[in-house]
Amino acid sequence: MEDVIILGTGCAGFTAAIYTARANLNPLILEGKQPGGQLTTTSEVENFPGFPEGIDGYDLMDRLRKQAVKFGARVENAYVDKVDFSDPVKVLYAGERKFEARTVIIATGAAPRLLNIPGETEMFGGKGVTTCATCDGAFYRDMEVVVVGGGDSACEEALFLTRFCSKVTLVHRRDELRASKIMADRTLAHEKITPLWDSAVKEVLPDQEGKAQSILVENLKTGKESEVSCKGVFIAIGHIPNTSAFKDIIALDENGYFISEPGSMVKTSIPGVFVAGDCADHVYRQAITAAGMGCQSAIEAERWLAELN
């Protein structure tokens, strides 16, 4: 049986691993479907303390992984889809595989939210609809694209796409961006970016080959519909926490985020099970806050194990 199992290899998971490894708890990290977490799909990270020149998201995660492994953390690929936390020994299942631990740190992150409109899933992947400009932006060189959303992610995607694309239309359902002022100002000042306010995307329309050709947009104030031609549709409307394996087992809020116990952000309704990062935090959702929660959860796990002994 393991002392500590950590689920997830984003900033939260690896920070928890660094701390628990340095506390000689020999943590086992189970890596899910997105090794390295969301930062591996972002470009430059400018706000992680200690990197005045910025750092590539993938590089940052690679450094965190090396740091955790250096102190003895073990990483295995296993996507946990079922758990049994009814006994003091916590049981986790990844398909046919079974793991047991005295304490568990859940740092499973969040996944991009989708619009759920016709054409979206049909053209997802190589046919024009995507949630990752860093991954797919270069495929749209000299083409017109749209970005959907009004937060920091949408602004970041739009700005990144200006490196490749001839025109970026930013479609937002209100007439004011949710993004931080610095990002909003930078985005709206860019000559290649045109905002389309008060607008909802109703459908992605295909060309004869089944690839995205345009979007159908409704103006939410006038009800008028129009088509915007685009080869790429980049959806950046927030995230859904990866917590489905814990539904009805650990207390979750109505959006699926873990509810923390009074007095600690990282304690769950199950003693000995801790949470960290975007699966538990819909307010701050930063790499550095996820790392901070990873540290907190590791310290709580250490205290929990000390009390058991």
Closest approach, Cβ 111 to ligand NAP, in A, equals 11
User: Which region, judged by CB under 6 A, interacts with ligand NAP, from 96-104, 131-139, 207-215, 230-238?
Assistant: 230-238
Q: Give, as ranges, the residues between 242 and 281 that touch ligand NAP (CB under 6 A).
A: none
Q: Give, as ranges, the residues between 177 and 206 that touch ligand NAP (CB under 6 A).
A: 178, 180
Residues 6 or more apart whose CB falls under 8 angstroms from that of 198 comprise: 172, 173, 174, 175, 219, 220, 221
**String of contacts with ligand NAP for each residue 279-308, x by CB under 6 A:** ------x-----------------------
Nearer Cβ to ligand NAP (83/179) = 179
Q: How far is CA 37 from the centre of its chain?
A: 7
Under rule CB under 6 A, residue 147 binds ligand NAP: no
Under rule CB under 6 A, residue 157 binds ligand NAP: no
- Residues involved in catalysis: 132, 135-136
Q: Which of 10, 13, 149, 272 binds ligand NAP (CB under 6 A)?
A: 149
Under rule CB under 6 A, residue 221 binds ligand NAP: no
C-beta of residue 150 within 8 angstroms of C-beta of residue 178: yes
Provide the greatest CA pair distance for the chain: 67
Site size with ligand NAP, rule: CB under 6 A: 19
Q: Give, as ranges, the residues between 70 and 99 that touch ligand NAP (CB under 6 A).
A: none
Residues 6 or more apart whose CB falls under 8 angstroms from that of 248 comprise: none
Nearest to 57 by CA among 196, 173, 153, 151: 153
Under rule CB under 6 A, residue 121 binds ligand NAP: no
Q: How far is CA 306 from CA 3, 23, 80, 267, in A?
A: 11, 11, 26, 16
C-beta of residue 154 within 8 angstroms of C-beta of residue 179: yes
Nearer Cβ to ligand NAP (273/290) = 290
Under rule CB under 6 A, residue 117 binds ligand NAP: no
Closest approach, Cβ 76 to ligand NAP, in A, equals 29
Q: Which of 31, 144, 152, 302 binds ligand NAP (CB under 6 A)?
A: 152
- Number of separate helices (H) and strands (E) present in the chain: 6, 19
Alpha-carbon distance of 273 to 275, in angstroms, equals 7
Angle at 187 between CA 184 and CA 189, to 5 degrees: 105
Handedness of CA 128, 133, 137, 143 (dihedral sign): positive
- Which residues of this chain interact with ligand NAP, rule CB under 6 A? 47, 113, 115, 149-154, 156, 173-174, 178, 180, 236-239, 285
